[in-house]
Amino acid sequence: MTKPTIKMLAWGWLLGIASAALVGIVILVLVLTGVAFNTSATSADSQIFAAAIHATMTNSVKRRASGGAPRLPLDTATLLAGAREYETHCIACHGGPGVARAPWASAMLPTPPYLLDTPNRWSHAELYTIVHDGVKMTAMPAWGEVESDRQIAAIVAFLEVLPKMTTAQFDRVRQRARPPLLAR
């Protein structure tokens, strides 16, 4: 290559980098000013954006989940403790067998998922990570900030049994798990 060709190649690279940076800055400004991204919970995200965010969440959970997630014995005491936590913190958003989520939870975007197939989609460690650390931009709180590791492990144990419950079994467990003043 001759010197003028190298010089032109360098200028071409610099011009390409500057153009890409300018496009990036314009996109960033459009997003930050609200022109290119609507944060309203009354309109769904585009399918491409929703798929990208969901893939990011799934990959993040899989990467951060460790085999060291506490595992409690699946006995009556553990399941009742998990059911109590589920009744207190989870049922309004996620519902259960024969129980719809609260109407206001259906107004959330993304809508909280029903958890009836949870153990088929997530490992024990991944479930623990989701419950413990929460999920940004979904209203799923980081329960590890306010609950003990044992309480979270009890919720996870309950989630792993939940899909096997009939509506009648779920109702009986809910009745047993409720504090005396709330039981009906």
Domain membership of residue 58 (yes or no) is: no
Residue 33 CB-density burial (10 A; 0-12 exposed, 13-18 middle, 19+ buried): exposed
Domain membership of residue 32 (yes or no) is: no
Domain membership of residue 61 (yes or no) is: no
Strand partners, 96: 99
Q: How many domains does the chain have?
A: 1
- Confidence band of 1 (pLDDT split at 50, 70, 90): low
Question: In terms of Cα–Cα distance, which of 113, 129, 107 is closest to 162?
Answer: 113
Q: Name the phi and psi angles at 24, rounded to 5.
A: -60, -40
Whole-number average pLDDT of the chain:
91
- Confidence band of 72 (pLDDT split at 50, 70, 90): very high
Domain membership of residue 54 (yes or no) is: no
Domain membership of residue 7 (yes or no) is: no
Domain membership of residue 118 (yes or no) is: yes
Domain enclosing residue 129, as ranges: 69-177
pTM for the structure as a whole: 0.81
CB 143 within 8 A of CB 150: no
Residue 169: CATH number of its domain: 1.10.760.10
Domain membership of residue 85 (yes or no) is: yes
pLDDT of 155 higher than 80: yes
For 10-27, what is the mean pLDDT? 95
CB 98 within 8 A of CB 167: yes
Domain membership of residue 39 (yes or no) is: no
Determine which of 3-12, 52-61, 86-95, 130-139 has the lowest per-residue pLDDT on average.
3-12
Return the SS3 of 96: strand
